Structure formats: structure tokens, C-alpha cells
Amino acid sequence: MITCALYTEDESVEHWQMEFNRQFPHLNVQNWQHINNPEQVKYGIVWKPNEDFFERFPNLTTLFNLGAGVDAILKNAAVPKHIDIYRIEDGGMAAQMNQYFSYFLLHYFRDMDYYQQQQSLNHWQVQPFKAASNFRVGILGLGQLGAKLAQHLQCYGFDVAGWSRNTKHLNGVTCYAGAQQLEPFLNRTDALCCLLPLTPDTLGILNHKNLSKLPNGAVVINAGRGEHLMAYDLIQLLDENHLRGAVLDVYQQEPLPVAHPLWQHPRVMMTPHSSAQSEYEPCVKSIGNTLQAIANNQAPSGLVDRSQGY
Ligand code: GLV
């Protein structure tokens, strides 16, 4: 029987264990602290494990990250360099991201920010009609989540483009790639949606220089990582009316300190890193299938390329 050491936030450990037992009863998934023969364990299923975890399991070969973003695990110096890391590729998060971005994109497309302001002034005024095909959405990052979002947003008739590190081809999506095409991508984007992985190349990508390249009146929605955004650059561009509004789900420090000016900014909408959460059933299915494929000497998808940082 294959034993896997499970490390995650306390309250969810039992849920994960139950779901593994239900879907893959032949796997022995145990709370990492309750395992008697740690030197025999090759597989870890983890979310933000600490150093003790790696000291306890010296013979790990493979880690399954219980989330889409692997930035935290890659910057953890305790993670041995030879270990293979697999990330969750969807785990129910793509559908949640589609809901999240649709909600806020429609908010701006249908001028709800203007109507909210008008209501506060008892002011009756219909905003000019805009065709959906003139609303230019741009998605930064066309990985598992970004590519699915790009496809999904077509149901509203928006003009959808995407930017990624390497060239992608997606039906109905204008694809830009590489550092050279970032500027033309930003120039044509009314609503910028960030779903990038956090890597040395994408750190601070939502900075003054790049955000200034968006057309006047553009909006920014960040559900990537807080470190993608230079928050004070954003605030400046909002205050100068270059940007119309922003929606933020992720922050450089979480929870965001109570004194941070983002909290009270009238044109910033905030959520507490809640845009998408790993769902037990699909995540367990994905990890269990990947583990089985590894055991059968296949090469399943989801393997993190450390040189690229995701
Ligand atoms: C959440 O932020 C994740 O990386 O899954």
C-alpha cells in the first residue's frame, strides 16, 4: 500500500483524508504527524509545509501541492531540490475563477460603478450603450485557469485577448506572447485580468510603467498573487483618473494590514483571497490519478518546471 503524508491547515486535514479514502481506498493518506515509519514515505500531499515536515520525511520523491500556485513551495528553502512537485491544474478552481471574473467584468461593462455613484447622489441618468464586442478584455496568463477564462468570456461577446510567456493558440482569442508583445497587449486592453503564476519574471508586472500603457479608463482585476501588483502605483493611477477601478483578491501581505490605503479606496473592490478555492473532490481525483500514473511509470501533466518557476 502506498503511504502519503498529508500536511495542510488543521481544520481541513480530516476532509482531505476522508475524500482520499472514498476515492482511492488503496492509498494510505495519513496526517503527517501520525505516520510511524516516516523514512519509508515517498509521497507528500501538502499546502505550505514547514521545515519539520521535510526533516521528518527524508526520503520523499514527490510532492503534490494542494493548490494552483507553487510560488510558496518553490521559495521554501527546506524543500529538497531533487523532489518532483506537481500542482493542481484545475481542482474546481477554473469554474470559480470564471464566476469571479465574469461578476466583476459585468459590473464594469454594465456601468454598475457609475450607477452606484449616481444612486448615492439621487441622480437619474442612463449611461451610453456600449456593444460587448467593443469591451476589450485582456487576460495575463493563459495557463490552466487563464485559458479556460478566455474561452468562457466569449459567451458575453467580449473582445478577448490573452498574453503569455510562450505563444499559445486559443479559438476566438487574440494571443500575444513574450516581453515584446506586452505593450501592444496592454494598449488594447480595457479590462486587465491577472491570472499569472508568480515567478521572478512576473514579480511586480502590474507596475506604474505597465499599468500606464492601459487605455484611459481601464480597469484591473488581480487574482494572481499580491506580489504581481505595485499597490501604490495602482493607487496613483486611480487617483489621477488614468484607471477607472480595480478589483483585488490577493495582496503582498495577507491579511492586508488594516491601515493599508487600499481598504478605504473608493474605487477599489476587495475580496480576501477567496476568488477560487481547491475543491476536495476534483483535487483528490487529480492527485490520485497523477499518483497512479507515476506508479505506472507514465509522465502525467502538472509537473512543475523549477527553471520556469511554475
Ligand atoms: C491559491 O491561491 C492557489 O494557488 O491555489
Kindly report, residue by residue over 216-242, the tens digit of the pLDDT: 999 999 999 999 999 999 999 999 999
Known active-site residue 165: no
Give the per-residue pLDDT at 283.
Answer: 97
What pLDDT does 9 receive? 79
Backbone angles phi and psi of 260, in degrees to 5: -65, 135
Pocket of ligand 1 contains residue 147 by CB under 6 Å: no
Catalytic residue from among 225, 228, 244, 265: 225
* CB-CB contact of 236 with 262 (8 Å): no
Average pLDDT estimate for 167-174: 98
For residue 287, the model assigns a pLDDT of: 97
pLDDT exceeds cutoff 80 at 10 = no
Q: How far is the CA of 69 from the centre of ligand 1 (A)?
A: 5
C-beta of 68 in contact with ligand 1 (< 6 A): yes
246 touches ligand 1 (CB under 6 Å) = no
Length in residues, the chain = 310
Query: pLDDT digits over 34-74, tens only?
Result: 999 999 999 999 999 999 999 999 999 999 999 999 999 99
Domains of the chain as residue ranges with CATH: 2-91+278-295 (3.40.50.720), 94-270 (3.40.50.720)
Ligand 1: atom nearest CA of 88 is 5
Look at residues 227, 282, 283 and name the one whose alpha carbon lies nearest to residue 71: 227
Q: What is the pTM of this model?
A: 0.96
Catalytic-role residue among 208, 260, 273, 306: 273
Ligand 1 centre and the CA of 275: distance in Å?
Answer: 9
From the CB of 92, is ligand 1 less than 6 Å away? no
75-129 residue pLDDT tens: 999 999 999 999 999 999 999 999 999 999 999 999 999 999 999 999 999 999 9
From the CA of 68, how far away is ligand 1's center (Å)?
5
Predicted confidence at residue 203, as pLDDT, reads 98
Q: In what order do the strands lie in the sheet with 62-65?
A: 27-31, 2-7, 43-46, 62-65, 84-86
Give yes or no: 169 in active site: no
Report the nearest-CA residue for atom 5 of ligand 1.
Answer: 67
What pLDDT score was predicted for residue 304? 97
C-beta of 69 in contact with ligand 1 (< 6 A): yes
